[in-house]
Amino acid sequence: MSNSMQAALITHYKQSLPEIRTVPVPTLTPTDVLVRIKAASLNPIDLKTMAGGLRPLLSYQLPLIIGSDFAGEIVAVGQQVTTFKVGDAVYGRPRKTRIGTFATYLAIDVDDIALKPRNLSYEEAAAVPLVGLTSYQALNDILKIQSGQKILIQAGAGGIGTLAIQLAKRLGAFVATTTSAKNVAFVQKLGADRVIDYHSENFSTVLSNYDAVFDTLGGENLAQAFSIVKPGGQVVSISGLPDARFAKEYGLPRWKQALFRLVTNRLTRLEKRSQVTYRFLFMWPSGTELATLTQLIEQHQLQPIVDQTFAFQDLNQALTALKLGHTRGKIVVQMA
Ligand SMILES: NC(=O)c1ccc[n+]([C@@H]2O[C@H](COP(=O)([O-])OP(=O)(O)OC[C@H]3O[C@@H](n4cnc5c(N)ncnc54)[C@H](OP(=O)(O)O)[C@@H]3O)[C@@H](O)[C@H]2O)c1
């Protein structure tokens, strides 16, 4: 195995696109595995990381290899690793301080991986970890969706939406979603019961008495979500502003907690007025939860949707496509 590899990195924030360079293969800690990456998926967080938008929450050393999830094969294991072995086909979402999946190799903590579903190709599997874990955590861990509950999942045709609709239906929920007209049949096929074309209808004028909203859009869409949820219900957002509660749980210093309290003043007022709980979710890596998703996929209860596949050398074309904001499912890059 060579000591060097190809990786897509940024040398400064606000760099519009990464550069592919030759860099050393990462070294392993005792609890790491080294994965030869076969495919990696694109996520809006990659664009936000490049833009420096996550700096209030995460500080990275530059140059930084970007990329947030992958599927690949283990080629080496750290001294303390007993749960996986060389040759295992795995997938995962590295912890946020150790991203870098747009590369030939990745060193990742063994707790952050799971066996790749046997019925998926590497490209399909790479489309799962970040959006699958986020959707699972929103629906199971935070909202604790019960059979018969009504939930709105915003942006049903996107990376998150396509998996969240399937997971919510599996939990027995009635699912409403928003999308544009061209994707109505597509999200219905995934299981959506009520589809709103967001170009011609505003969800807040046609939905009411919902148990929960899974907000993926933020801004006014998040503010309006409170008006469709019944008292005692919940709004969870992955695109809205982090609130003081999140800042405290995330271990941010007191001055940042105060800052987040200030900027989410309006959401706190909406929470009180509508008697609806607001939670900001910043997903967390979990090999254990990913193993649950592997089972669901192998039992044909969950299926990732791959919109487009690019060669790694064309990563910048792939990122440019992601920036358009109309991906149907996921964009994936294949490593050589
Ligand atoms: N906090 C966290 O832990 C976390 C984790 C994952 C993702 N996120 C964030 O969640 C957001 C969604 O992620 P994603 O991976 O699903 O993004 P994505 O796949 O890029 O979303 C694209 C989809 O959004 C739809 N869309 C765009 N504008 C819309 C609107 N106004 N109403 C309804 N649908 C709309 C598009 O459908 P049409 O083509 O039909 O318009 C398209 O299918 C991103 O901001 C991402 O950064 C946060």
Ligand 1 centroid from CA 238, angstroms: 10
How far apart, in whole angstroms, are the C-alpha atoms of residue 75 and residue 93? 18
Taking only the tens of pLDDT, the chain with its 336 residues reads 889 999 999 999 999 899 999 999 999 999 999 999 999 999 999 999 999 988 888 889 999 999 999 999 999 999 999 999 999 999 999 998 999 999 999 999 999 999 999 999 999 999 999 999 999 999 999 999 999 999 999 999 999 999 999 999 999 999 999 999 999 999 999 999 999 999 999 999 999 999 999 999 999 999 999 999 999 999 999 998 899 999 999 999 999 999 999 999 999 999 999 999 999 999 999 999 999 999 999 999 999 999 999 999 999 999 999 999 999 999 999 997
Domain 131-280: give its CATH code.
3.40.50.720
Whether the Cβ atoms of residue 285 and residue 106 lie closer than 8 Å to each other: no
Beta bridge partners of 176: 152, 194
Residue nearest to atom 35 of ligand 1 (CA): 155
Which residue's CA is the nearest one to ligand 1's atom 26?
A: 155
How far is Cα 301 from Cα 312, in angstroms, rounded to an integer?
30
98: exposed, middle or buried (C-beta count within 10 Å: 0-12, 13-18, 19+)?
Answer: middle
Contact yes or no for 237/134 (Cβ under 8 A): no
Q: CATH topology of 4-128+304-334 equal to that of 131-280?
A: no
CATH architecture, domain 4-128+304-334: Alpha-Beta Complex (3.90)
Using the mean position of ligand 1's atoms as its centre, give its distance from the Cα of residue 126 in Å. Answer: 18
- Write the CB contacts of 311 (distance below 8 Å, at least 6 apart in sequence): 333, 334, 336
Task: Report residue 329: phi and psi, to 5°.
Answer: 85, -125
Under DSSP, is residue 242 helix (H, G, I), strand (E, B) or coil? coil
In this structure, what DSSP letter does residue 63 have? S
Domain positions in the chain are 4-128+304-334, 131-280
Residue 39: both structure tokens together: 């495919």
- How far apart are alpha carbons 252 and 256 in whole angstroms? 6
- Residues 164, 99, 289, 233: is their CA dihedral positive or negative? negative
Q: The whole model's pTM is what?
A: 0.98
Q: Which residues form the pocket of ligand 1, taking CB atoms under 6 Å from any ligand atom?
A: 43-45, 130-131, 134, 154-155, 157-161, 178-180, 183, 198, 216-217, 238-239, 281-283, 325-328
